[in-house]
Structure 1
Amino acid sequence: MPVAAWRQPYPDSRRDRLMTFLVPSLLTIALAAAGGGVATLLGLPAGWIMGGALVVSVAAMAGVPVAMPNRLRDVVFVLIGMSMGASVAPDSLSLLPSWPASLAGLVLELVLIIGLTGWMLQRRFGLDRGTAYLSSFPGHLSFVMAIASAGVGDARQIAIIQVIRILMLTVAVPIGAMFLPVAEFTPAADFGTLGVLELLMLAAGCVVVGLVFVRLKVPAGLVLGAMAASTAAKLAGLYTAAIPEPLAIITFVLTGALIGSRFAGITRREFMAAAKGGVIATLMTLVIVTAVAWGVSLVVSIPFAQIWIGLAPGALEGMGALGIALGYDTAFIAAHHVVRLMLLTFAIPLVVALIQRRETATIGRDD
C-alpha cells in the first residue's frame, strides 16, 4: 500500500501518525532480517549486517519507504556499544608480547591505513574529516556506523565506502579458501553466554554511562559510553561470558537496517562518487598490508603468507579458514585479528575525539 493511502481516511488521526511511524520501521527491519538471513546462509562474512544493509539500501534507493525511529536507533547504539565491549577477549592484553615484530607491524599498518586513506578521501574526494577517517577504519563496521549515525560524518558515504571495502576483501582474498579442503575455523575459548540477570545489569551500566557521555557532550555518547562501560567491566574481570547469540543477531539485523535506511534519498552521482573512493581506499589498504607484511617477513622466521593473513584488514573467518587450509599457525592468525579489533576499539573513539577537537578549533578561529 502506498504511503499516501495511509493518510486518506484519517489525515490527522493518531492512527495515521502511528501507521506512518510503524509501518516503514517494521518494513525496514523485515527487509534487514531477510537480507541478513540469506547472506548468512550463503556464508558471507558479517552476513547479518552486510546482507541486511545491502537489501535495505537497495530498497531505499528504489523509493521504498524505509526508516529507523530515533528511539529504536538509540537502543541500537547501546546494543552495539555493549556488544563491542563484550567481544573483547579477557586475555587480549596478554597477547601483545607474544609476537612483538608482527604486532608492531600491525600497529604501524593501522596507523598507515587510517592516516593515508583518510587523508586521500579528504583531499581527493573532498570528504569532511569525520566522513574520511570513519571510512578508513579497517574493521568494526557496526561500531563505525553507529558513531556515524549519531552525527559524526556523513553516514551514507561512510556506509558505501565501508561496504565496498568488505565486498572487495570478501571477493579478493578469502575466496581462495573455497577451493581448498578447509576445516571449520574455531575461535578462542568459549566462556559461555551471559545470563538474563547479568545481561540486564550490564545493559543498565551501559545505559547509565552512555547517558553520562551524552550529558558531557561526548560525540556519539550512547555508543562510546556503552562500549566504555562494557569494555572496562570485561577487562576488569567483572564478567567473562559473551552476549547471547540471539541478541547478537538482533543487534546485527538492527544495525543493517540502520545502515541501509541512511541510503534514503541518495542520488546515483553521490553513490558512484563514494563507491569510487571505496575502491581506491581498499586498494591502498591492500598495498599497505602487503608492504608491512613483507617488511615483517624480513625480520622473523614466519612465512610471508601467514603474516599477510594475520595482518589482513578484516574477514577473520575467511582468513582463519585459509590459514588452516595452508597449514599455517591459526593461533598466530587469530591473535593478530583479535588484537587488531581490540586496537580499533580504542582507536575509533580517540580519532573521533581528535576530529571533534580539530573542528571545534577551526570554528573558533573562524569566529
Structure 2
Amino acid sequence: MAQFFLYFRTLIIGALGGLVGYLLNFPLGWLVGAMLSTIPCAMAGVRVPTHWGLRSLMIGTIGLMAGAAFTPAVIGRAGEWAFSLAGVAIYCLIITAIGLFICLKVGKLDRATAAFSAAPGGLSEILVLGPSYGADVRSLSLVHGMRLTVILVIVPIVIVWVGTGNGPTQMNRTLDLSLAMPIKDYAILGACLIVGVIGGKKIRLPGSHLTGPLILSAIVHYFGLTHSSPPQLIVVVAQIVIGTSVAQFFNNTTIRQVLGGLVVGGGLTVLNLGVASLFALAFQTWLGIPFAAGLIALVPGGLPEMSLISIALGLDAAFVSLHHLFRVVLVLVFLPILVPLWIPKTEGVALLR
C-alpha cells in the first residue's frame, strides 16, 4: 500500500507539472512538465518511483499510435526510405566517433563507460548492456538521462519554430478528454497492446514494449481491421508516465554530479542535434523528406519519446519509428561486437564525479 501511494504521488506531481507545461504552451507540455516537476524532487532525495508495468503499457500505447501510421499508402513508399536509412547508419557512426572523444577527453570516463555513453541508444538496452561490459551505471544514467532530458525539451521547440523549412509546424493544442471509440476497436487495440508487450519481450524484440504493439497495430491497420488510434486522454497519461520515469536517472544526485553529467550529456546533445540538423537538411534537399521528420527520425532521444513527439506534431510516425528502430538495432548488433575490441581487459571503471 505504501509503495502504491508513492507511485500515485509521483503521478500527481507529474500531472501537475504537465498541466503547467500545457497551460504555458510548452511544446509537448505534458511530457516536459512532468519531467521538470519530478527531476528536482528526485535530486532532493524525494522518492518518485515509476511503476514499470504501467510505463510498459503506456509505451505500448505509443506503439499502437505509431503502428496506426502504417497504412497501405505508407508501406508503398517504404522503398523510398532506403537512402535515409543508410543516412541513419552514417549518422550513428559519426556521432559515436566524435562522442567517444568527448567522453574520454572532456568527461574523463573510462573506455567502457565512454563507449556506452557515446552510443546513440536505445536507452534501456544501453543501461542493461553497459554494466555487463564494465561500464559504470550511475555515469551512464546521468549522461543518457541528461541527454534525453535536454533533447526532449529542445527538439519540440526547434521543430515548432523552424518547422519543415516551409513555415513553422503547429502543435495540436486541442484537449479531448473523451474516451469515445467503438468497443470493437478497443478490443482489437487492447489485444495488440497486451500480446505485443508480452510477445515482444518473449522473442526479445529491440524496444519490445513499443515495437511489439507497433508491429501488431501496423498489421491490423494495414489490413483495415481498424482505423482507430488510442484516445487523446490516454496519450496525455502516457506523456505524464513517461515524463516522470526520466526522474529515476537523477535519484539522490548532487549538483556536482548533475553538472558533470550536463557537461558530457550536454556536449553529446549539441553534437547529436548539430549533425542531425545537417543530415535533415540533406534529406530535405536531396530526398524530399521534410526537415522536421528528418530531424526527429535522427536525434537519439529514445524510441518511445521520439515516436510520441512525431505523433504530437502530426509528423509521419511510421517514418520516424522505423528509422529509430533501425538505429536501435544497429547499436544492439554492433556495440557488443566492437566494445570488447576497444576495452583493455585490465581497465577499471571510472565514475563520473
| Offset from partner CA, 1:161-202 (integer Å, 9 cap, x none) | 02212333455564478xxx9795679xxxx97534322332
Quote the Cα distance in structure 2 between the aligned partners of 1:183 and 1:79. 24
Q: Tell me the percent identity.
A: 16
- Match runs of 1:283-302 below 5 Å: 283-292=270-279
Matched, 1:116 2:116: no
**Contact 2:162/2:169 (<8 A) preserved:** no
Match of 2:222 among 235, 258, 269: 235
Shift in Å, 1:31:
0.9
Match of 1:46 among 13, 28, 51: 28
Shift in Å, 1:284:
2.7
Task: Give the match for residue 271 of structure 1.
Answer: 258
Structure 2: 5+ residue runs without aligned partners?
104-108, 131-139, 174-178, 299-312, 346-353
Shift in Å, 1:62:
1.4
Quote the Cα distance in structure 2 between the aligned partners of 1:63 and 1:95. 49
Quote the Cα distance in structure 1 between the aligned partners of 2:194 and 2:286. 46
Matched, 1:253 2:240: yes
**359 and 218 in structure 1: CA distance in 2 versus 1, 3 angstrom threshold:** farther
**206 and 293 in structure 1: CA distance in 2 versus 1, 3 angstrom threshold:** closer
Task: Give the match for residue 14 of structure 1.
Answer: none
Please identify the structure whose Cα radius of gyration is greater: 1
Match of 1:244 among 231, 251, 275: 231
Quote the Cα distance in structure 1 between the aligned partners of 2:324 and 2:97. 21
**194 and 28 in structure 1: CA distance in 2 versus 1, 3 angstrom threshold:** same
Whichever residue aligns with residue 118 of structure 1, its letter is T
**Contact 2:15/2:240 (<8 A) preserved:** yes
Whichever residue aligns with residue 274 of structure 1, its letter is G
**Contact 1:68/1:258 (<8 A) preserved:** yes
- Match runs of 1:96-115 below 5 Å: 106-107=84-85, 109-115=87-93
SS state at 1:262 partner: helix
Task: Give the match for residue 346 of structure 1.
Answer: 325
Whichever residue aligns with residue 244 of structure 1, its letter is P
Task: Give the match for residue 143 of structure 2.
Answer: 157
| Offset from partner CA, 1:302-347 (integer Å, 9 cap, x none) | 8xxx9645643479xxxxxxxxxxxxxxxxx977x54641433531
SS state at 2:250 partner: coil
**313 and 105 in structure 1: CA distance in 2 versus 1, 3 angstrom threshold:** farther
Shift in Å, 1:243:
1.3
Matched, 1:55 2:37: yes
Whichever residue aligns with residue 159 of structure 1, its letter is G
Task: Give the match for residue 27 of structure 1.
Answer: 9
Quote the Cα distance in structure 2 between the aligned partners of 1:121 and 1:222. 28
Task: Give the match for residue 93 of structure 1.
Answer: 75
Whichever residue aligns with residue 157 of structure 1, its letter is V
**339 and 173 in structure 1: CA distance in 2 versus 1, 3 angstrom threshold:** same
| Offset from partner CA, 1:264-311 (integer Å, 9 cap, x none) | 1234344223322343333334443454466568769x8xxx964564
Matched, 1:207 2:194: yes
**236 and 123 in structure 1: CA distance in 2 versus 1, 3 angstrom threshold:** farther
SS state at 1:265 partner: coil
**Contact 2:11/2:244 (<8 A) preserved:** yes
**Contact 1:193/1:244 (<8 A) preserved:** yes
**Contact 2:117/2:143 (<8 A) preserved:** yes
Task: Give the match for residue 280 of structure 1.
Answer: 267
Aligned length: 305
For normalisation by structure 1, the TM-score amounts to 0.65
Shift in Å, 1:244:
0.7
For normalisation by structure 2, the TM-score amounts to 0.68
SS state at 2:119 partner: helix
Structure 1: 5+ residue runs without aligned partners?
1-17, 136-143, 316-332
Quote the Cα distance in structure 1 between the aligned partners of 2:129 and 2:180. 32
Quote the Cα distance in structure 1 between the aligned partners of 2:126 and 2:237. 18
Matched, 1:66 2:48: yes
**Contact 2:161/2:169 (<8 A) preserved:** no
Matched, 1:262 2:258: no
> Cα RMSD (Å) of the superposition?
4.2
**150 and 225 in structure 1: CA distance in 2 versus 1, 3 angstrom threshold:** farther
Shift in Å, 1:29:
0.4
Whichever residue aligns with residue 146 of structure 2, its letter is I
Task: Give the match for residue 312 of structure 1.
Answer: 295
Quote the Cα distance in structure 2 between the aligned partners of 1:212 and 1:104. 28
| Offset from partner CA, 1:242-264 (integer Å, 9 cap, x none) | 21111111111111122223321
Quote the Cα distance in structure 2 between the aligned partners of 1:84 and 1:173. 19
Quote the Cα distance in structure 1 between the aligned partners of 2:196 and 2:157. 39
**Contact 1:165/1:279 (<8 A) preserved:** no
Whichever residue aligns with residue 236 of structure 2, its letter is I
| Offset from partner CA, 1:69-99 (integer Å, 9 cap, x none) | 34334433433433432355553234457xx
Larger RCO, structures 1/2 (Cα 8 Å, 6+ apart): 2
Shift in Å, 1:352:
5.1
**225 and 312 in structure 1: CA distance in 2 versus 1, 3 angstrom threshold:** closer
